[in-house]
A and B are shown apart, each in its own frame.
Chain A
């Protein structure tokens, strides 16, 4: 990414300082930029990210199945706070395409939780960042151990997913105890969400990436959430979300990287 810039900046401090640092055997984390340093600079520049508990991230300690790692992001504003959460970004730092999903949230949708499933290639920090309506940035992080052996971050049965490409299912759940005015729903869409293969000359394999790139959920005309996603979202993308229902049907529109459009409407509350 911008290693060259970092290197020249470091060089400015002088060789003596570097030699001293080496002698003191500073922890690697202090001396070398992490993947997150680069990702964060790319996404947010110099803006401060606050780890203040406004956003929390639930992730398993270990990715049991590298292809399907459940993640839940929750946000909670203090009572009386008039700001709203405008955007949530989920980053799997060590994945080839680290930004798993960027969610834009409807101003009146009151989304307080989003769960999805991601691919985790390697031992990785995972970051969730909330951007509030005042522009402030809030972060939560978890470390996820990779699964070993035969678990790979790939679709298990891509033919089955392709056979019903774009099929959607909406499930409704009891309102979460913590916010009884909320609704809880889950959208599932059949899609291999293929990362694409560009293998070496040995295997001669080339399969173009094919994944759901945008997905929008509205209630009536009002936005609930819009997801811009990449290959880190698991096959058969799945989003469970807590929100304030206005009683209108939920309409889903999705587009994939081959230009396929998928759309469906679901009555509110699963009625």
Chain B
């Protein structure tokens, strides 16, 4: 009697969760279902700090008939664990894939929380751009130290850094059971290892940090490369991009308008930097004297000078 009764209960919970999209686990991250079977957790538009526990990036997951794919795991294993609880509130299917959209700590340092959540209690495949492993390995010690500085010690250790075991060079399809998602590796833009995840069934694109909304875009790869791409190119399998999940900002945005807003900012940075280079203005002075954009963008004070610096060093070679 116990067995069947329990199964019924679990099934009811599962249905309730699918309808209400309310996490049942106390520690579960709040997620919203932006399209059937596609869930997004909206991180705060903020720097990692003790008061937000590093919950500063958008995370998500896609549920197929057999398995789940997670898209980014947060700044710490604790956030990854809460994302895992949110998934368990929605489905009991295993996590077959943990996908990282790029190497930044707020997107990958929760990976360790998914150990043992794969099929049969094994580990999921960690999937990323083929250049992520090098980029993350080189920065991991720095990321652990900067997490200690921002959140206090003990939230992340070197042992929590999980590098990918499946790498994407161009395009790769992953089957979740009657639902195939399309991963695309991009040339250097936000970073040198940007990867997007497209769900043709719903036209939902997880852009990672190739799209920022509200949060000032951050250049840690190539501003010229970023300006040279369009996210519409992620459309695949006959499906257009109907909605896009930015790496930072609200749960969803739309193409092309939200990408255009970002492009306007990046183009203005490139123009200002090219003018300074042509005038022989040294990097240090240009950055010191720069006017910080006001209005639309959050965190401009924290990232605009950095973008000018990176753009200057890059565009000086033109």
Which A residues fall within an 8 A CB radius of B?
58-60, 64-68, 70-72, 115, 117, 121-122, 146-154, 156-160, 169, 171, 173-174, 188, 190, 195, 197, 199-200, 202-203, 205, 207, 234, 236, 238, 240
Is there contact, CB below 8 Å, between A207 and B158? no
How would residues 267 to 301 of chain B score, 1 for a CB under 8 Å from any chain A CB and 0 otherwise? 00000000000001011100110000000000000
23 contacts between A and B (CB under 8 A): A59-B284, A60-B287, A60-B288, A65-B310, A68-B283, A70-B284, A72-B282, A72-B284, A115-B284, A117-B313, A149-B146, A150-B104, A152-B142, A153-B142, A154-B142, A169-B316, A174-B280, A188-B316, A188-B317, A203-B137, A203-B161, A207-B138, A234-B313
Q: Give every chain A residue within 8 A of B48 (Cβ-Cβ).
A: 148-149
**Which of B33-41, B167-175, B217-225, B236-244 interfaces with chain A?**
B217-225
Q: A122-B145, A188-B317, A236-B313 are in contact. List 15 more A-B contacts (CB 8 A).
A: A65-B310, A70-B282, A70-B287, A146-B146, A149-B146, A150-B105, A151-B220, A156-B188, A156-B314, A157-B192, A160-B188, A205-B137, A207-B138, A234-B313, A240-B282
Q: State the Cβ distance, B266 to closest chain A Cβ, in Å.
A: 15
Q: Give every chain A residue within 8 A of B21 (Cβ-Cβ).
A: none
**Which parts of B186-201 form the interface with A (CB within 8 Å)?**
188, 191-192
Is there contact, CB below 8 Å, between B140 and A154? no
**In the complex, the 5 A-B pairs of residues with the closest C-beta atoms, listed nearest first:** A70-B284, A205-B137, A152-B139, A64-B306, A150-B104
**In the assembled complex, B163 has its CB within 8 A of some CB on chain A:** yes
**In the assembled complex, B149 has its CB within 8 A of some CB on chain A:** yes
**In the assembled complex, B115 has its CB within 8 A of some CB on chain A:** no
Is there contact, CB below 8 Å, between A202 and B280? no
**Which parts of B92-141 form the interface with A (CB within 8 Å)?**
104-106, 131, 133-135, 137-141
Q: Give every chain A residue within 8 A of B145 (Cβ-Cβ).
A: 122
Is there contact, CB below 8 Å, between B306 and A117? no
**In the assembled complex, B180 has its CB within 8 A of some CB on chain A:** no
**In the assembled complex, B47 has its CB within 8 A of some CB on chain A:** yes
- A195 and chain B: residue at smallest CB distance: B138
Interface residue total, chain B, C-beta cutoff 8 A: 46
Specify which of B150, B159, B314 is in contact with A149 (CB 8 Å cutoff). B150
- A205 and chain B: residue at smallest CB distance: B137
**In the assembled complex, B263 has its CB within 8 A of some CB on chain A:** no
Is there contact, CB below 8 Å, between B150 and A148? yes
State A117–B286 Cα separation when bound (angstroms): 14
Q: Give every chain B residue within 8 A of A68 (Cβ-Cβ).
A: 283, 309-310, 313
Q: Give every chain B residue within 8 A of A234 (Cβ-Cβ).
A: 313
Q: Give every chain B residue within 8 A of A202 (Cβ-Cβ).
A: 158-159, 161
Q: State the Cβ distance, B246 to closest chain A Cβ, in Å.
A: 16
State A188–B305 Cα separation when bound (angstroms): 22
**In the assembled complex, B206 has its CB within 8 A of some CB on chain A:** no
Q: Give every chain B residue within 8 A of A240 (Cβ-Cβ).
A: 282
Specify which of B134, B159, B222, B316 is in contact with A207 (CB 8 Å cutoff). B134
Is there contact, CB below 8 Å, between B163 and A203? yes
Knowing A117-B283, A197-B138 are in contact, say whether A150-B218 is a contact too (CB < 8 A).
yes
Q: Give every chain B residue within 8 A of A236 (Cβ-Cβ).
A: 313, 317
Q: Give every chain B residue within 8 A of A152 (Cβ-Cβ).
A: 138-139, 142-143
State the majority secondary structure of interface residues on A.
loop
Q: State the Cβ distance, B207 to closest chain A Cβ, in Å.
A: 17
**Which parts of B30-75 form the interface with A (CB within 8 Å)?**
47-48
Q: State the Cβ distance, B81 to closest chain A Cβ, in Å.
A: 20
Is there contact, CB below 8 Å, between A149 and B283? no
- B47 and chain A: residue at smallest CB distance: A149
Q: Give every chain A residue within 8 A of B135 (Cβ-Cβ).
A: 154
State A36–B137 Cα separation when bound (angstroms): 29
State A160–B188 Cα separation when bound (angstroms): 9
Q: Give every chain B residue within 8 A of A199 (Cβ-Cβ).
A: 137, 140-141
Q: Give every chain A residue within 8 A of B314 (Cβ-Cβ).
A: 156
State A226–B274 Cα separation when bound (angstroms): 30
Specify which of B137, B220, B284 is in contact with A197 (CB 8 Å cutoff). B137
- B48 and chain A: residue at smallest CB distance: A149
Q: State the Cβ distance, A178 to closest chain B Cβ, in Å.
A: 14
Q: State the Cβ distance, B219 to closest chain A Cβ, in Å.
A: 8
Q: State the Cβ distance, A237 to closest chain B Cβ, in Å.
A: 11
Q: Give every chain A residue within 8 A of B288 (Cβ-Cβ).
A: 60
Q: Give every chain B residue within 8 A of A173 (Cβ-Cβ).
A: 280
How would residues 148 to 187 of chain B score, 1 for a CB under 8 Å from any chain A CB and 0 otherwise? 0110000000110101000000000000000000000000
State A122–B145 Cα separation when bound (angstroms): 9
State A152–B161 Cα separation when bound (angstroms): 16
Q: State the Cβ distance, A153 to closest chain B Cβ, in Å.
A: 7
Q: Give every chain A residue within 8 A of B191 (Cβ-Cβ).
A: 156
Knowing A60-B287, A122-B145 are in contact, say whether A154-B158 is a contact too (CB < 8 A).
no
Is there contact, CB below 8 Å, between A157 and B138? no
Knowing A68-B310, A169-B317 are in contact, say whether A60-B192 is a contact too (CB < 8 A).
no
Q: State the Cβ distance, B134 to closest chain A Cβ, in Å.
A: 7
Knowing A202-B161, A203-B137 are in contact, say whether A157-B310 is a contact too (CB < 8 A).
no
Q: Give every chain A residue within 8 A of B221 (Cβ-Cβ).
A: 156-157
State A236–B316 Cα separation when bound (angstroms): 11
- A122 and chain B: residue at smallest CB distance: B145
State A234–B313 Cα separation when bound (angstroms): 10
State A59–B188 Cα separation when bound (angstroms): 29
Q: Give every chain A residue within 8 A of B192 (Cβ-Cβ).
A: 156-159
